[in-house]
């Protein structure tokens, strides 16, 4: 009688989805609350989840993913820096075996105080959201938030010695699209890479297609040349062009669907794994942890959810936005 074949250890890499794409990048939301209320991200009606994970639970989830082959973790929100224990969370995740990068996406409002402690805890990249250089335009996008604190926070980040700083600009027609050349100049003057993001259908506003924005930047006198060195394990969804002052990135979820090279998995601030930004497949990792699940059982749940990860999002299909959470409820 032949022995039964041994089952593969679910904790062993690679971690792959239903399409055979290998996941190496975890986006981990540490809160879905924010001190801003940007119209495209956090509508006033969003009340937030009530049961957020603890630093120990974030560490547990990240450690399982690291064993499965995740090498990069991005801490998102909401605004992650409003958590009083954010430095502790960063320190725990950065110390995990195999973890190569801990990045944070932030609105910069708390960076004046936290830029150095976060870097010392192990964060090595910041993506800073800045949609405008005008306080009046900022106020039209968000009724809450201190605009001056954003600019001070960016300067603090520049002086803190991060390996990489990126400036994320969500481009909205008739709101901030005319500022694109000024935002490129502002970022390059500080050694920051600006990235322009097509508005996704989570809130208010009209998107500006990437091709149109590239043409407008070139028409303003900015020399842009496609960057042949933009590919690689950490390239992410952006495509890059080279300008005299540095690189300029474009993230185009609507007009240049980036799903074919997806290497990302998302976990919300309450521990719900969401396999796709625009999909429905989830796994309640928080319930499993609090129910006494082993690491192997967590890994099996993760693999099952990724087994339902679609080939691509459905943002451009009629009615696709009907079941989408606000951006801050997903974790970006």
Tell me the β-bridge partners of 243. Answer: 246
How far is it, in rounded angstroms, from Cα 288 to Cα 8? 21
27 in a known ligand binding site: yes
How far is it, in rounded angstroms, from Cα 2 to Cα 294? 30
41 in a known ligand binding site: yes
265 in a known ligand binding site: yes
225 in a known ligand binding site: no
152 in a known ligand binding site: no
216 in a known ligand binding site: no
190 in a known ligand binding site: no
The token pair at 307 is 């087994």
How far is it, in rounded angstroms, from Cα 305 to Cα 302? 5
**Residues whose CB is less than 8 angstroms from the CB of residue 59 and which lie 6 or more positions away in sequence, other chains included:** 89, 92, 93, 96
Contact 89, 58 (CB under 8 A): yes
Q: Is 50 exposed, middle or buried (0-12, 13-18, 19+ CB in 10 A)?
A: exposed
Task: Please tell me the total number of residues recorded for the chain in this structure.
Answer: 332
Of 250, 114, 238, 127, the closest CA to residue 192 belongs to: 127
74 in a known ligand binding site: yes
259 in a known ligand binding site: yes
Contact 244, 257 (CB under 8 A): no
Tell me if residue 164 falls in helix, strand or coil: strand
Rounded to whole angstroms, the maximal C-alpha distance in the chain is: 77
How far is it, in rounded angstroms, from Cα 18 to Cα 38? 34
How far is it, in rounded angstroms, from Cα 119 to Cα 40? 29
78 in a known ligand binding site: yes
Distance of CA 192 to the CA centre of its chain: 17
Tell me if residue 264 falls in helix, strand or coil: strand
166 in a known ligand binding site: yes
The annotated binding site for GTP is made up of: 27, 74, 105, 166, 264-266
Q: Which residues are annotated as a binding site?
A: 27, 34, 38, 40-41, 74, 78, 105, 129, 166, 200, 259, 262, 264-266, 276
What residues form the annotated binding site for [4Fe-4S] cluster? 34, 38, 41, 259, 262, 276
List binding-site positions for S-adenosyl-L-methionine. Answer: 40, 78, 129, 200
């Amino acid at each position: 009688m032949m022995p039964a074949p041994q089952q593969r250890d679910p904790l062993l890499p690679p971690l792959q989805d239903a399409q055979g794409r290998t996941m190496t990048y975890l986006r981990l939301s540490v809160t879905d609350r924010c001190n801003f209320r940007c119209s495209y991200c956090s509508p006033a009606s969003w009340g937030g989840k009530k049961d957020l994970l603890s630093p120990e639970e974030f560490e547990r989830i990240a450690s399982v993913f690291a064993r499965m082959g995740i090498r990069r973790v991005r801490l998102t929100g909401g605004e992650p820096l409003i958590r009083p224990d954010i430095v502790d969370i960063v320190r725990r995740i950065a110390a995990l075996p195999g973890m190569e990068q801990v990045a944070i996406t932030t609105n910069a409002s708390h960076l004046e105080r936290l830029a150095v402690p976060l870097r010392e805890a192990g964060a090595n990249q910041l993506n800073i959201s800045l949609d405008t250089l005008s306080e009046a335009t900022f106020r039209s996008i968000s009724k809450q938030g201190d605009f001056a604190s954003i600019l001070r926070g960016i300067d603090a980040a520049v002086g803190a010695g991060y390996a990489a700083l990126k400036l994320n600009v969500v481009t909205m027609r008739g709101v901030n699209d005319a500022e694109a050349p000024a935002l490129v100049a502002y970022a390059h003057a500080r050694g920051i890479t600006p990235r322009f993001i097509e508005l996704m259908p989570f809130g208010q506003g009209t998107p500006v297609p990437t091709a149109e924005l590239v043409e407008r930047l070139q028409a303003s006198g900015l020399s842009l040349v496609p960057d042949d060195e933009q590919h690689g394990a950490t390239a992410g969804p952006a495509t890059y062009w080279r300008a005299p002052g540095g690189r300029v990135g474009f993230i185009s979820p609507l007009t240049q669907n980036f799903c074919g090279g997806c290497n990302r998995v998302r976990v919300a601030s309450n521990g719900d794994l969401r396999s796709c930004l625009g999909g429905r497949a989830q796994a309640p990792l928080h319930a499993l942890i609090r129910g006494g699940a082993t690491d192997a059982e967590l890994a099996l749940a993760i693999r099952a959810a990724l087994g339902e990860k679609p080939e691509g999002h459905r943002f451009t299909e009629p009615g696709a936005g009907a079941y989408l959470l606000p951006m801050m409820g997903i974790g970006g």
